[in-house]
């Protein structure tokens, strides 16, 4: 791929992901989008459950498969290595859009809150997204979204190998990004069966994904990561444990 094309591909993939993710926020909150999680043609509960499960499975399957090292080794024989992450980001945007586009509403209400309670729930949603966004910058936002790779290729420089990091939120939990998305999945003032289905199934997928991610992190960072696993909890912060132990000499 020619350098300007590679750069353009990276930028387009990044933009596509951001648009689909912004749409996801509106989709979950039921605001500002033409089709939200509770809108669309209502099918029978069985049809809706099977369709929605299939959509989440498709999203999760490709999201996990394409993140595995053996898959990357195989398909970078066809895709330039510098475009690998951007392609991953693009497929995530595509499957997320597919999921939201074909999502079948399951409108029966589970809870509904208004007034200050609703404000509190919106606050949790905003905190979740803030944790998520901040964490991407703590690890390396531009590398996670493939922009650093296409930019380095454009300048003819090679990418530095990944570094183990535990800045700020990563001292509280090992997976703040996933914690952030889970908060956003459940934080709605108007919980329907469909929304709960989405939140539970996506949480299940996140937990399965974390199992594979942690195995890859141990392979990549070895004892540094094992030591980190022993000191820091996975998703829910444990302040007592955090302050009762000396920080590791491995962590950056
Ligand atoms: C989508 S991010 C999710 C990161 C983390 N699971 C979280 O929830 O904040 C996945 C990428 O982050 C990298 N990663 C996760 N934890 C890391 C750490 N402590 N230091 C460096 N890279 C990390 C993984 O290697 C992977 O490429």
pLDDT of residue 238: 81
Please say whether the beta carbons of 191 and 109 come within 8 A: yes
Residues in the chain where the model's pLDDT stays below 50: 246-252
Choosing from 60, 136, 139, 205 the residue with most ligand 1 atoms within 8 A of its CB, the one to mutate for a pocket test is 139
pLDDT of residue 252: 47
Q: 11 C-alpha to center of ligand 1: Å?
A: 22
For the chain, the domains span 3-244
- Give yes or no for residue 221 CB within 6 A of ligand 1: no
Count CA within 13 A, CB hemisphere, residue 191: 16
pLDDT of residue 245: 54
pLDDT of residue 35: 93
| Pick from 143, 134, 133, 135: nearest CA to 163 | 143
**Is the ipTM beyond the 0.90 threshold?**
yes
pLDDT of residue 3: 81
pLDDT of residue 161: 77
Ligand 1: which atom is nearest the Cα of residue 216?
A: 25
pLDDT of residue 241: 65
pLDDT of residue 87: 95
């Amino acid at each position: 791929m020619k350098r300007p094309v590679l750069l353009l591909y990276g930028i387009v993939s990044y933009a596509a992901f951001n648009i689909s993710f912004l749409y996801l926020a509106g989709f979950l909150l039921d605001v500002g989008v033409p089709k939200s999680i509770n809108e669309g043609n209502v099918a029978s509960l069985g049809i809706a459950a099977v369709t929605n499960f299939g959509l989440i499975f498709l999203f999760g399957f490709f999201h996990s498969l394409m993140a595995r090292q053996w898959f990357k080794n195989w398909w970078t024989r066809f895709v330039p290595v510098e475009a690998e992450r951007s392609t991953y980001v693009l497929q995530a945007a595509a499957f997320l859009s597919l999921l939201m586009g074909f999502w079948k509403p399951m409108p029966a209400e589970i809870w509904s809150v208004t007034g200050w309670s609703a404000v509190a729930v919106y606050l949790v949603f905003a905190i979740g997204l803030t944790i998520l966004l901040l964490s991407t910058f703590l690890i390396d936002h531009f590398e996670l979204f493939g922009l650093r790779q296409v930019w380095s290729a454009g300048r003819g420089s090679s990418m530095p190998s990944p570094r183990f990091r535990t800045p700020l939120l990563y001292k509280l939990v090992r997976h703040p990004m996933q914690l952030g998305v889970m908060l956003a999945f459940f934080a709605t003032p108007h919980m329907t069966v469909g929304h709960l289905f989405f939140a539970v199934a996506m949480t299940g997928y996140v937990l399965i994904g974390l199992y594979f991610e942690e195995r890859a992190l141990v392979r990549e960072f070895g004892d540094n990561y094992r030591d980190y696993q022993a000191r820091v909890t996975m998703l829910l912060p444990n302040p007592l444990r955090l302050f009762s132990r000396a920080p590791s000499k491995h962590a950056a």
